[in-house]
Each structure stands twice: as structure tokens, then as C-alpha cells.
Amino acid sequence: MLKRKDLISLDVMSKNEIDEILELSLKLKKGKAPACKLKDKTLGLLFEKPSNRTKVSFWAGMIQLGGHCIYLSPAEIQLGKREAVKDAAKVLSRYLDVIAARTYSHETLLELAKYSSVPVINALTDLLHPCQALADVFTIFEQKKKFKGVKLVYVGDGNNVLHSLLYAASKVGLDIAYATPKGYEPDKGVVQKALAISKKMGSVVKGYTNPKEAVVDADFIYTDVWASMHQENELAQRKKIFKPYQINSALLKAAKKDTMVLHCLPAKRGLEITDEVMDGKQSLVYDEAENRLHVEKAILYLLIKANKK
Ligand code: CP
Ligand code: NVA
């Protein structure tokens, strides 16, 4: 049973909680969860950064469950500038039933959750993107019907998406490898936690610098942008460093014949992934994006249920 106030990071969640989210997501996707209703509940969407998938999937999902949404754009929210994060958290908790927040700093999200009396969902911070990673492992399970012995390989920047994938994969017992350039590895603390979790699950976490080595026997290859939303000014320099990390036909050939490709999107076509791969038969990127909706509906329902007053 999901028993927590907030969904901030997957490393602190139990395997049972994650399984419950994935199982309900599947029922919702199949249209077989008629009891999931959030009538008269309101979700606040607090976004310091732009979003397409996260904003729209949470919004549409809440409407589909019978609830309502209020969106506060980056220009409006100004957490810590227009008012203290703690004041915003305390006030918004009086109006809303649940908050999904996308912040620059992870600390801002932690503070928001600390002072909010309603559940807070991490809709991406510079450190983590848990809702994305849950949808990703859901997409993998949809294809393989299992996690054990399945290998996911992330190629690119050691960023928020990789951090949450490390947690999600190790929690469900999916093998995960990553190939990142020197100096762009994932956070050491995150890797250590993922390693400890994967040991208990009997799965593998392994880091590489050479993408061709990492993708050997990959069932799934995953990438993300080379410069995240807070790093756009580094793009010119990053383009040079990350060039060998592009997901293209040559890299796909170094994996298996039926290796599938994932990308959290938005993609910079022609940089981290070629058009050929993104539009090719092995690409699952739009299924993956759709699954954000089903998984977030499950998260909303279970969190609101767990925090019923
Ligand atoms: N994948 C993802 O979170 O996309 P958005 O930034 O468009 O929400
Ligand atoms: N790493 C990317 C993910 C976007 C969904 C970013 O933070 O911009």
C-alpha cells in the first residue's frame, strides 16, 4: 500500500509501493479501474520551467479522474521571489488537494513539501524526475512482461532523468548500465544508493564511458538531451563532448537486433538522437510519452487516497 505524503524520490519508496503504482497504471490504461475517481479534488500545477508532457499529462489525467487543475506558470509562481516558499506552501495547501511542482532546485521542492499539508509530487527538479522514470519502467514492463534479466542502457548526460532511472531500475530489479562522458557522470551518492538497492534485488548497476561497450546486449537504449533546462548556455561546448554519445543506427547495431529505444522527450533531433532512430521501428518514444498519463493518474489517485482526511 502506498503510505506516504509526498512523491519526491523513488529511493525511499518500497518495492510494494512502486508495484502498486505500476499495477494501477496498467488497469487505468486498460480502462479497468472504474473506482478511481477524484471528484471535487483540485491539483495545483506549479511550474518554474516549461513543460509539455508533464503538465498536460497531469492535467488531462486529473480531468479524466473527475478532478480539476489550476496551473501556475513560471511567470506567476516565482517561488522564493514573490514570496517565501514556505508561505506559498502553507497558503496553497488551504486551497488544493495535491500539488505537482517542477522546480529548478531540488531543495525548493523539499521545502515546498515540508511546509505543505497536502501531498507534493516531484514533476522534475535539477536532481530527479521520478514520474518519468516510473513511466519508463512501466513501458519496459509492457514490452517484456518482466524486469529480471532485462537490460536498460542510458547513454548521454548523467542528469535528473538518469538519477531517477537508476532508482527506478534498481527498485524493480531491472539491470541498468549507463555511458556518460568523463565529468558528466551521475551523482555519486545516487549511484551508491542504486547499487545498494540493486544488490538486494539481485540486479546490476554499471557505469561506462564508452557507449559502444555499454550497449552490448541492451534490451532498451535510453537517451535525453545533452543540455538540460538549466544548462542551455553550455550547449555549444556539450555538443562537442557528447558527439560520440549520439543514439544513431551505428550505435543501435552494437546492441541487439530487437533493441528498443526510449527518450523522455523533448528531443533535440540530430543531436542526442537521429531522426532515423527516433522515427524508426525500434523507437518507443511516443508509447513512453503516453504512459506518463496512465502512471500519473495512478500516482494522483493513490496519493490522494493515502492522505484522505
Ligand atoms: N519528459 C518530460 O518531462 O517532458 P516535459 O518537460 O515536456 O514535461
Ligand atoms: N533532463 C531534461 C529532462 C526534461 C524532461 C531537463 O531537465 O531539461
- Evaluate whether 161 touches 132 at the Cβ level (below 8 Å): yes
Q: Which atom of ligand 2 is nearest to the CA of 54?
A: 5
Q: Which ligand is nearest to the CA of 186?
A: 2
Q: Kindly tell me if the per-residue pLDDT of 31 is higher than 80.
A: yes
- Confirm or reject: Cβ of 157 under 6 Å from ligand 2: no
Q: Residue 151 to residues 21, 178, 219: CA-CA distances in angstroms?
A: 22, 11, 5
DSSP 187: P
- Confirm or reject: Cβ of 43 under 6 Å from ligand 1: no
- Confirm or reject: Cβ of 51 under 6 Å from ligand 1: yes
pLDDT class for 158, splitting at 50, 70, 90?
A: very high
Mean pLDDT of 107-120: 98
- Confirm or reject: Cβ of 53 under 6 Å from ligand 1: yes
Ligand 2 geometric centre to CA of 171 (Å): 22
The best mutation among 55, 105, 134, 159 to test binding of ligand 2, ranked by most ligand atoms within 8 Å of the C-beta, falls on: 159
Q: What local confidence, expressed as pLDDT, does residue 80 receive? A: 86
Give yes or no: 264 in active site.
Answer: yes
- Confirm or reject: Cβ of 267 under 6 Å from ligand 1: no
pLDDT class for 206, splitting at 50, 70, 90?
A: very high
Q: Which residue of the set 53, 102, 106, 238 is catalytic?
A: 102
The CATH fold assigned to 132-288 is Rossmann fold (3.40.50)
Q: Kindly tell me if the per-residue pLDDT of 78 is higher than 90.
A: no
Domain boundaries, the chain: 10-128+291-306, 132-288
What torsion do the CA atoms of 141, 142, 143, 147 make, to the nearest 10 degrees? 10
Q: Which atom of ligand 2 is nearest to the CA of 161?
A: 1
Mean pLDDT of 127-142: 98
Query: How many whole angstroms separate alpha carbon 276 and alpha carbon 100?
Result: 34
Q: Kindly tell me if the per-residue pLDDT of 244 is higher than 80.
A: yes
Give yes or no: 106 in active site.
Answer: no
In the chain, at which residue ranges do the beta strands (DSSP E only) sit? 42-47, 68-72, 98-102, 120-122, 151-155, 175-179, 205-208, 220-223, 260-263
pLDDT > 90 fraction of the chain, expressed in percent and rounded: 94
Query: How many whole angstroms separate alpha carbon 156 and alpha carbon 153?
Result: 10
- Confirm or reject: Cβ of 228 under 6 Å from ligand 2: yes
Ligand 2 geometric centre to CA of 161 (Å): 7
**Fold match, 10-128+291-306 / 132-288:** yes
Q: What local confidence, expressed as pLDDT, does residue 297 receive? A: 97
Instruction: Look up the CATH superfamily of 10-128+291-306.
Output: Aspartate/ornithine carbamoyltransferase (3.40.50.1370)
